[in-house]
Structure 1
Amino acid sequence: MNDRSHTDKALFRLIAEGDEAAFRELFHAYVPQLEPLVMHLTKTASVTEDIIQETFLRVWLNRDKLPAIENPRSWLLRIIFYQSFTWLRRRSVHHKALDAMARGDEEMRSTTEEAVAYAAMLRLVGEAVQQLPSQAKKIYKLSRENGLRIPEIAAQLELSPNTVKNSLVRSLQAIRRHMEAGGYWLPLIVLWML
């Protein structure tokens, strides 16, 4: 396992330099390990293939960040699980919408109203994020959109973890104030999960 870790770090360094052969080697080393995991979660071969393709596309597109990753296998697994659970969440929402349509117009109207309210709430969150100072916006997006943890953001931006944490807390408070001004009252803990 330790040898694999050293090999993966070496491959990550080569991929960061644009080495396509190293990328292919990493791909062929991990696909046999990742396919069963994703297939177990999604139960669909085509979706499994898409998720693996998307994962390795992210590896290639973010190759400049690869040398800083200490545990390549864990990093790849985190991306795979994030992609898989995102797909499962979308599928669940899709099935709920289909179920609501099957139950009838009255329930559908309620579901539609909830979807409109949720979309409006997300729009307000987006507006609030755009109003954040550039550094705070960058930290917020790395946390929420890229799924990075505080220590990872701190390392990437060369900041202290406390600075990152404080920035996130201030950003969430600013977003909450913006939401309240827009007629939505949300506890800070709910915003932390968005």
Structure 2
Amino acid sequence: MQSAVHDKELFRLVAEGDEAAFRRLFHAYVPKLLPAVQHLTKNAAVTEDILQEAFLKVWLSRDKLPEVEHPRAWLTKIVYHQCFSYLRRQAVHDKALHVIGEQPEATSMEDDLAFNRLLRTVAEAVQALPPQAKKIYLLSREGNLKIPEIAAQLGLSPNTVKNSLVRSLQAIREQLAEAGHVLPLAVLWLFLFGE
């Protein structure tokens, strides 16, 4: 069992940018956290993604590590937050699929035309975004990058990226509404960001 004193020392080293200490922290905690995450997600690949995302957050927030009094509890909280974010997204995704699944399977030519108009309106709305917002949106939607990955690639804070995506979603939603397309926010988010 790893001691809290040892963990605090690792946190201090990670806060200073010590990558070897970060690897030790990762290898010490992943085996402890993996079974619980696996139990919640029921998916090995998702479990791995969640753990990697959680430790990426630790690295990106390393300046806060010296203030953490209970490292194990803090790490566990971050991992569980990632789990529940995934489960919440999955529930929205499943609900959207269920709603879509209730629609008749055969689409008419009119439905196809409406969908193509919707795609054109979204493309126009994306083109109208400010350059940085457009870049962030495209990295998210077409590059399939997560907020921390976009932040790291563009040298921005994750909050800046998240706020930009929210503003882009609002702008796209307004343009869709002006064009007569009304989608529930959850379905629009799934359509635009695939989450």
Q: Structure 2 length as normaliser, TM-score?
A: 0.52
Q: Alpha-carbon deviation of 1:19?
A: 0.8
Number of equivalences: 104
Q: Alpha-carbon deviation of 1:44?
A: 0.5
Aligned equivalents of 1:97, 1:59: Cα separation in 2: 32
- Code of the residue aligned with 1:27 in structure 2: it is F
Q: Which amino acid aligns with 1:4?
A: S
Q: Which amino acid aligns with 2:17?
A: G
- Tell me the equivalent position of 2:21: 22
Aligned-residue sequence identity (percent) comes to 62
Q: Which amino acid counterpart does residue 41 of structure 1 have in structure 2?
A: L
Deviations 1:39-73 (A, max 9, x none): 00000111000000011111111111100000011
Query: Structure 2 matches for 1:67-86, cutoff 5 A?
Result: 67-86=66-85
Name the SS for the 2:3 alignment partner: helix
What corresponds to 2:10 in structure 1? Answer: 11
Q: Distance in 2 between matches of 1:96 and 1:89?
A: 11
One-letter code aligned to 1:61: L
Q: Give the whole-Å Cα distance in 2 for the aligned partners of 1:17 and 1:97.
A: 44
In 2, distance between residues paired with 1:104 and 1:58?
40
**What is the rounded CA distance, in whole Å, between the counterparts of 1:100 and 1:48 in structure 2?**
27
In 2: Cα distance, 1:24 partner to 1:104 partner: 49
User: Equivalences for 1:164-179 in 2 at 5 Å?
Assistant: none
State the partner residue of 1:32: 31
Greater relative contact order (CA < 8 Å, ≥ 6 in sequence): 2
1:4 to partner: Cα distance: 1.4
Q: Which amino acid in structure 2 is aligned with residue 66 of structure 1?
A: L
C-alpha distance in structure 2 between counterparts of 1:47 and 1:20, whole Å: 24
- Alpha-carbon RMSD across the aligned residues, in angstroms, is 1.2
Q: Which residue in the other structure is 2:44 paired with?
A: 45
The structural deviation recorded for 1:102 is: 1.4
CA–CA distance in structure 2, aligned partners of residues 4 and 103 of structure 1: 53
Structure with the higher fraction of residues in helix conformation: 1
Q: Deviation at 1:104? A: 2.1
Structure 1 residue identity aligned to 2:67 = A
Deviation readout 1:69-124 (Å, 9 max, x if unpaired): 0001111111111100010010011100111111126xxxxxxxxxxxxxxxxxxx
C-alpha deviations, 1:112-164, integer Å up to 9, x for none? xxxxxxxxxxxxxxxxxxxxxxxxxxxxxxxxxxxxxxxxxxxxxxxxxxxxx
Matches within 5 A, 1:155-166: none
Partner residue of 1:145? none
Amino acid aligned to 1:30: Y
| TM-score (normalised: structure 1) | 0.52
Q: Which runs of 4+ in 1 moved over 2 A?
A: none
